[in-house]
Amino acid sequence: SQLLAIEGIPISSLPGGRLESSPLVGVIMGSHSDLPTMNAAVDILKKFNVPYEVDIVSAHRTPDKLVSYSRAAAERGMRVIIAGAGGAAHLPGMVASMTPLPVIGVPVKTSTLSGVDSLYSIVQMPRGIPVATVAIGNAQNAGLLAVRMLCTSRPDLRQKMMDYQLEMTDMVNEMSSKLTD
């Protein structure tokens, strides 16, 4: 397997990284520089105990890997792919063109155009090839959307999602009650 390092850590040794035998969700990104953004999706998958893998797949720098990864994903047992990219962000759309699985695109914020370039690249897909696009930099929502997709056939996950939503409600109510104290 490919040994990619992120700040000296091989990606294969990241929690839930390439060692996971049957990941349900693939979290991929165009560059190691996207990892700080994409970690929020990984955190959600960990919280919901969903098997996942993380990898770097660049539409431009590793085009052959893009093809092999996308074509193999469904047969490997994956159910959802989360793809983050910045700038000329072709990764999510190209993956979606080569797999029947749902693809969630995360537009990564860029320094030159603040991620508007990434957003437009990802959201403006042609008819026939959908990519579910989250807000700029919002990989947390990508993770949550992936879990919700899995919820359609997993009542246990659905329950966890409802608990998560209740937790948020409780948190807001608590903040609100502090304001009126």
Taking residues 99 to 138 in sequence order and writing x for each that binds ligand RP5 by CB under 6 A, - otherwise, the string is ---------x------------------------------
- Binding of ligand RP5 by 87 (CB under 6 A): yes
Residue 65 burial (CB count, 10 A): 16
113/172 with CB nearer ligand RP5: 113
- Residue 120 phi/psi, 5-degree rounding, is -65, -40
Which segment (10-18, 81-89, 129-137, 169-177) binds ligand RP5 by CB under 6 A? 81-89
The kind and range of the H/E element at 2 are: none
What is the nearest approach in angstroms of ligand RP5 to the Cβ of residue 48?
A: 25
Residue 13 burial (CB count, 10 A): 12
Cα dihedral 134, 136, 138, 139 sign: positive
Return d(Cα 18, Cα 3) in angstroms, integer: 10
Q: How big is the site for ligand RP5, counted in residues (CB under 6 A)?
A: 10
Return d(Cα 134, Cα 32) in angstroms, integer: 20
Which segment (10-18, 46-54, 65-73, 82-90) binds ligand RP5 by CB under 6 A? 82-90
For the chain, the first-to-last Cα distance in angstroms comes to 57
User: Which residues is 108 bridged to in the sheet?
Assistant: 86
- Binding of ligand RP5 by 30 (CB under 6 A): yes
What is the nearest approach in angstroms of ligand RP5 to the Cβ of residue 92?
A: 10
What is the nearest approach in angstroms of ligand RP5 to the Cβ of residue 17?
A: 18
6/161 with CB nearer ligand RP5: 6
**Which residues of the chain form contacts with ligand RP5 (CB under 6 A)?**
29-31, 33-34, 58, 85-87, 108
